[in-house]
Amino acid sequence: MRQTRRLPIIFAAVLSCCACGGGSGSAPAVPMPPPAGTTSISNVQGTGASSPLAGQDVSISGIVTGDFQEDDADDSNNLGGFYLQQEIPDADPLSSDAVFVFDGNNPPVPPVDVTVGDLVNVQGTVKEHFGETQISSPTVSVVGSGTVQATDVNLPSPDVITNSDGDPIADLERYEGMLVRFPQSLSVTDLRDLERYGAVGLSQGGRLYQFSNSNAPDPAAYEAHRESVAKRSIELDDGLRNENPSAVKYLAAGNAPGYSIRTGDTVADITGNLRFSRGSGGNGDEAWRLVPGSDVRFESANPRPGAPVVAGNMRVASFNVLNFFSTVDSGQAVCGPQGRDNCRGADSSEELDRQLAKTVSALEMMDADIVGLIELENNDTASLQAIVDALNARLGSSAYAFLDTGTIHDDVIKTGFIYKTATIALAGDFALLDRSIDSRFNDARNRPALAQTFRVSSSGAIVTVVVNHLKSKGSSCDADGDPNLGDGQGNCNQTRTNAAAAIVDWLATDPTGSNDPDYLVIGDLNAYTREDPLTAFESAGFTNLLGSRADPYSFVFDAQAGALDHAIVSSSLAPQVAATIEWHINADEPPLLDYNLEHGRDPALFDADSPYRASDHDPVIIGLDPTN
């Protein structure tokens, strides 16, 4: 049973005459002097990343500013201890005035139950825990009460430090453990860790964007960008030690009914304790985390979009469907054209049903005449057939058909097309670009480009659409002599650039025999807007339909948004483009709303009829008025 909070009898007289640090009535309060032999908390903290007193036993005194004890009445804030801050700040602005007191969970002797505002004496050992200075094995006495005013902290921070992962982060060491207030409006910039670690990435000055989304590649400028991002960023933490909490604290913490948090939303004037941690124990990113002691409310600055409104009498879309596999991933290497690759996507039939339902909800609302699909299981027809069958069952007709390419090359995933049978017809056969056509197109890294000419049934106009999935930035191409140059373009940039140049030259040969120069290149190019692959298209006279926009995006990675999915048109087709939109139904949504059931996720969070978080990439939708 949890020990109830008791005040030692020896301090009863003190409490009856003094409200330390705050006062009652008109007379100012007089802080109680700490016991003899007490070390100031600022001396415990020191001015460096680690305490100069680490490993030593100390006696400290201060006011509780954050109650995160476990096994008490409040089970929404459980970090295994509390934050203690000295009443009178020291004269050194580089040393923190607060520290975390770790009294553990289920210790042999139940700890004293403290509350915010208690004046507390603590004896214990100074330790560093994942970079946070703590007092462990403490003996705690509540001796009075008082108040500490939050210290205002404004971003960007003046400097950065490097964490143990080698990443730059804001230098906020001087505030470690302290009660701080961020008065500025901060933008939600990352929701990747919301489910597992209860963390929301926040940034000052608006949301964050990838460097090469609006800047030419450059190593020095890219490094300056990384530091700028670090100075502007902080994590909002849920105040829990356990991973994958049953109740996700910030998911619905909005200022309006039915709110669901999205990247781009804002929050202002938040107060809490500042800790340095990986979050939820030793996992997560090593960063500065603000742990509020009270509820946080977000402003819905980036509301969910409704059905897309796109000008033009013909609609073409690019849609990465996040590894849609008709084969359930049982952990066996049974996928791919040879049946010996690891499967991806759904890990159970229940997950597959959920994934298919949400994919179809997005496609139904998208209402495109032609859709280029990316990250399909590379089987004969099963992956495409499953999508078309479910979509037609939803629409009550044979509204859509798919282009039957069979398996394509030997990768475990492929691209494909579906199209509306009432408005679109196939014109001739499809064509594939791989290294047998052009040695610059490395099909061991890039998926083969798939081209098909379509005819508009009502007018007879034709357009050739090429769907692509180029090599990702996520793994090295050093073995191919294509290293990461540190200029913002990531791994394998030359591999993607060579592929783009090969696509341009291939289209000049009219690979589908269309006798028409109208080409629309779509798909996941894994390159941001100002990177070399996009430049290769533009240098050849193609137009990137997102290129003139300020920070377009279809994906969020490392808390920064950017456009990986593109729509690029030949010079003859450009005048026939009525509109292009990025339909932001996925990238801004928290991953915990997708089809997965991992980490003990609450199945009730899933909405099969909603398109939101059907994938991790946003669709790009192009409206055309074809004239020939």
User: Quick check: helix, strand or coil at residue 358?
Assistant: helix
The proportion of the chain whose per-residue pLDDT surpasses 70, expressed as a percent, equals 94
Residue 70 lies in a domain: yes
Question: Comparing C-alpha atoms, which of 374, 378, 383, 385 is closest to residue 340?
Answer: 378
Reply yes or no on whether the pLDDT at 481 is more than 50.
yes
One domain, residues 436 and 555: yes
**Looking at the domain assignment, is residue 306 inside a domain?**
no
Query: Residue 19: pLDDT above 70?
Result: no
- Please give the order of strands across the beta sheet that includes 370-377: 400-402, 413-420, 370-377, 314-324, 620-624, 577-582
pLDDT value of position 249: 93
Residue 29, pLDDT above cutoff 50:
no
pLDDT value at 321 more than 70: yes
The answer to whether residue 582 is domain-embedded is no
- Tell me the C-alpha distance between 357 and 377, whole Å: 17
Domain boundary among 145, 172, 207: 145
C-alpha–C-alpha distance, residues 562 and 529, integer Å? 8
Residue that the structure tokens 């017809």 belong to:
425
Asked whether residue 286 is assigned to any structural domain, the reply reads yes
pLDDT, tens digit (0-9, with 9 covering 90-100), for 485-501: 999 999 999 999 999 99
Residue 445, domain CATH: 3.60.10.10
Note the pLDDT tens digit of each residue in 502-531.
999 999 999 999 999 999 999 999 999 999
Whether 439 contacts 419, CB under 8 Å:
no
Q: By residue range, what is the domain housing residue 327?
A: 315-422
- Write the pLDDT tens digit of every residue in 45-95: 999 999 999 999 999 999 999 999 988 888 888 999 999 999 988 889 999
Chain-wide mean pLDDT for the chain? 92
- Are residues 172 and 216 both part of a single domain? yes
What pLDDT is attached to residue 241?
87
- Of residues 75 and 187, more confidence is placed in 187
When mean pLDDT is compared across 262-266, 279-283, 406-410, 437-441, the lowest value belongs to 279-283
Residue 281 has what pLDDT?
Answer: 65
39 and 129 fall within a common domain: yes
| pLDDT for position 202 | 98
Number of domain units in the chain: 4
Has residue 557 got a pLDDT over 60?
yes
pLDDT recorded at residue 2: 29
- Please tell me whether residues 175 and 158 are part of one structural domain: yes
Least confident of 105-109, 259-263, 333-337: 105-109
Q: Are strands 314-324 and 370-377 parallel, antiparallel or unpaired?
A: parallel
428 and 570 in a single domain? The answer is yes
- What is the 3-state secondary structure of 232-295? HEEEECCCECCCCCCCCCCCCCECCCCCCCCCCCEEEEEEEEEEEECCCCCCCCCEEEEEECCC
Same domain, 127 and 30: yes
Task: Among 371, 399, 422, identify where a domain stops.
Answer: 422
Average pLDDT over residues 447-466: 97
> Do 133 and 183 sit in the same domain of this protein?
no
Q: Is the pLDDT of residue 570 over 90?
A: yes
**92 with 226, same domain?**
no
Q: What 3-state DSSP class applies to 539?
A: helix
Report pLDDT digits (tens) over 355-402: 999 999 999 999 999 999 999 999 999 999 999 999 999 998 899 999
Residue 26 has pLDDT above 70, yes or no: no
Q: Does residue 612 form part of some domain?
A: no
pLDDT range class, residue 417, cuts 50, 70, 90: very high
Q: Which amino acid is present at 172?
A: L
Cross-strand bridge partners of residue 450: 432, 467
| Pair (256, 271) in one structural domain | yes
The counts of H helices and E strands in the chain are 8, 28
Q: Are strands 151-152 and 179-190 parallel, antiparallel or unpaired?
A: parallel
pLDDT grade for 540, boundaries at 50, 70 and 90 = very high
pLDDT score at 7: 32
> Are 130 and 16 in the same domain?
yes
| % the chain with pLDDT above 90 | 85
The pLDDT tens digits for 228-268 are: 999 999 999 999 988 888 889 999 999 888 999 999 999 99
Give the residue from 127, 145, 163 where a domain finishes.
145
The closest of 201, 300, 202, 303 to 254, measured between CA atoms, is 300
Residues 104, 174, single domain; the answer is: no
Q: Give residue-wise pLDDT tens across range 205-228.
A: 999 999 999 999 999 999 999 999
CATH of the domain at 60: 2.40.50.200
What pLDDT sits at residue 269? 96
Within-domain flag for 3: no
Look at residue 114 and give its three-state secondary structure: coil
Q: Which residues of 276-298 are buried (b: 16+ CB within 10 A; e: fewer)?
A: bbbbbeeebbbbbbbbbbeebeb
Q: Would you state the pLDDT for residue 27? A: 33
Of the chain, the end-to-end C-alpha distance in Å amounts to 80
Cβ 196 vs Cβ 244: under 8 Å: yes
| Shared domain check, 114 and 54 | yes
- pTM for this prediction: 0.92
Q: Looking at the domain assignment, is residue 401 inside a domain?
A: yes
* Domain-embedded: residue 1: no
